[in-house]
Amino acid sequence: MFRKKSKALAAMSLILSALIMVSGCGASKPAEKEPAAADSKEPIKIGFLGAKTGDVAMYGLNTLKGLNMAVEEINKEGLLGRQVKLVEEDNAGQKDQAINITNKLISQDKVVAMIGDPTTGITRVAGQIANSKKTVIMSAGATGTDVVEIGPYVFRDTLLDTIAAPATMKYVIQEKGWKNVALITSKNNDYSVSLSKIFSSAITDNGGNIVIEEFIQDKDTDFSGQITKIKAANPDVIVFSGYYTEGALIMKKAREVGIKAIMVGGDGLQGEDLMKIGGEAVEGSISYAGFSPEQPTPNTEKFINAYKAKYNNEEPDLFSAQGYDALMLIAKAIKDANSADPEKFKDTLAKTNNYDGVSGSITFQENREPIKSPVYLLEVKGGKFALLKKVPVEIK
């Protein structure tokens, strides 16, 4: 009996000693927490998603110029006691490359947000990845449909085609009286396909007629067949929903066969190469934008002067302005949320209201779509984009 009791007491003693050791270890060294965002000295990484080479490089390069200006400005004072670092990549305007780059920026570079892509098609692809991996993405150029619907981490700070295209067609048809329209769509360009649908409805709604509809593909260079048919239809205006390279070549061929009608399109036409390639053929062409350096607000004027000083007297365009605004919006959200965690600052970003951006006042609706007004109609005049008209937008 004594031996049994002794063995039992010994066993209990061992168990108690083990418990004391375990609890003692836990008490002597509390579990370490991850450092708070404000305590970390590592840079806050922002990824650039866009083309620096290829057919749409003009969009990406100008967006990048605006981003670099924003980084410099933010880093003067820092963000949550840290610096912002821009991680640059070049997707060359190709979806397959954009997929690889998006995954790399998130998984390897550990960016907390991405600015880009300036195009709608690539933004849709990258947005799916970013949203699934809980990383904020904001496009400074995508204006087509089915973008923010992807999910709560997807944003844009652009003037929407659904607002701008109808406003443009109202001006073209009702004010200019150009009712007979030739509509051209690039079939392998998501932006163009989407925009043509919006233009088509807007033309009909404003009392216009689509007298002929033609189709091309991005990277085509010979538009003789389409232009011959368009000449026979004798339109008052040519509405092209694609990008500046094809737009310039279309108008060169149009002028060669004696077509007098001008070209009207979206902000995809806005690149200096429109004039470099098209020359006299694109004079008078009209496109819409959410930014113009003419008639600036004080905040915009300050940005324009700084931009010209940095980039050899070059004037900013909508991509550089919207790129700048995109990063400044994200930085403000990080600061206001006191966190560089996308799961936290995305909610603060979504509450943006009347932000005084250099590209205009920006408010995100409940669905995170931006409200921007007015629509700036720009005309090619003397080889440059010039402000033609400001069209106020009534937000319903």
pLDDT in tens, 94-139: 999 999 999 999 999 999 999 999 999 999 999 999 999 999 999 9
Q: Which residue in 362, 357, 365, 386 sits closest to 373, CA to CA? A: 362
Mean pLDDT of 379-387: 96
8 Å CB contact between 271 and 60: no
Alpha helices, DSSP H, located in 78-160: 95-107, 120-132
Grade residue 310 by pLDDT with cuts at 50, 70 and 90. Answer: very high
User: What's the pLDDT tens digit per position in 40-96?
Assistant: 689 999 999 999 999 899 999 999 999 999 999 999 999 999 999 999 999 999 999
Q: In the prediction, which pLDDT does 40 show? A: 65
Q: How many residues does the chain have?
A: 396
Q: In the prediction, which pLDDT does 12 show? A: 41
Q: Which residue in 279, 288, 285 sits closest to 256, CA to CA? A: 279
Q: Which two tokens stand for residue 52?
A: 């620096």
Amino acid type, 78 = G
Grade residue 11 by pLDDT with cuts at 50, 70 and 90. Answer: very low
Q: In the prediction, which pLDDT does 281 show? A: 98
**pLDDT of residue 342 exceeding 70:** yes
**pLDDT of residue 161 exceeding 80:** yes
* Angle formed by the axes of helices 298-310 and 318-337, nearest 10°: 110
Q: In the prediction, which pLDDT does 392 show? A: 78
Q: In the prediction, which pLDDT does 282 show? A: 98
Q: Where are the domains of the chain?
A: 44-158+296-364, 162-289+378-391
Distance separating alpha carbons of residues 71 and 272, to the nearest angstrom: 25
β-bridge mates for residue 364, sequence order: 370
8 Å CB contact between 340 and 44: yes
DSSP state of 359: T
| CATH architecture designation of domain 44-158+296-364 | 3-Layer(aba) Sandwich (3.40)
Fold match between domain 44-158+296-364 and domain 162-289+378-391: yes
Mean pLDDT of the chain: 90
Q: Which two tokens stand for residue 107?
A: 């998984």
Q: In this structure, how many other beta carbons lie within 10 angstroms of the beta carbon of residue 250? A: 26
8 Å CB contact between 42 and 82: yes
Q: In the prediction, which pLDDT does 182 show? A: 98
DSSP state of 159: P
Q: In the prediction, which pLDDT does 374 show? A: 81
Name the more confident of 36 and 70.
70
**pLDDT of residue 34 exceeding 60:** no
Q: In the prediction, which pLDDT does 319 show? A: 94
Q: Which residue in 251, 245, 144, 229 sits closest to 192, CA to CA? A: 144
**pLDDT of residue 2 exceeding 50:** no
Grade residue 396 by pLDDT with cuts at 50, 70 and 90. Answer: low
Q: In the prediction, which pLDDT does 7 show? A: 41
User: What's the pLDDT tens digit per position in 189-235?
Assistant: 999 999 999 999 999 999 999 999 999 999 999 999 999 999 999 99
Secondary structure (3-state) at 286: strand
Distance separating alpha carbons of residues 179 and 177, to the nearest angstrom: 6
Mean pLDDT of 156-181: 96
Distance separating alpha carbons of residues 151 and 25, to the nearest angstrom: 44
Distance separating alpha carbons of residues 135 and 129, to the nearest angstrom: 9
Mean pLDDT of 7-16: 40
**pLDDT of residue 1 exceeding 60:** no
User: What's the pLDDT tens digit per position in 260-289?
Assistant: 999 999 999 999 999 999 999 999 999 999
Distance separating alpha carbons of residues 37 and 348, to the nearest angstrom: 16
**pLDDT of residue 37 exceeding 80:** no
CATH, domain 162-289+378-391, list 3.20.20.220, 1.10.10.10, 3.30.420.40, 3.40.50.2300: 3.40.50.2300
**pLDDT of residue 15 exceeding 90:** no
8 Å CB contact between 95 and 191: no
Tell how far CA 93 is from the center of its chain: 13
Distance separating alpha carbons of residues 285 and 251, to the nearest angstrom: 9
* Angle formed by the axes of helices 120-132 and 95-107, nearest 10°: 30
Q: In the prediction, which pLDDT does 372 show? A: 85
Q: In the prediction, which pLDDT does 394 show? A: 65
User: What's the pLDDT tens digit per position in 230-262?
Assistant: 999 999 999 999 999 999 999 999 999 999 999
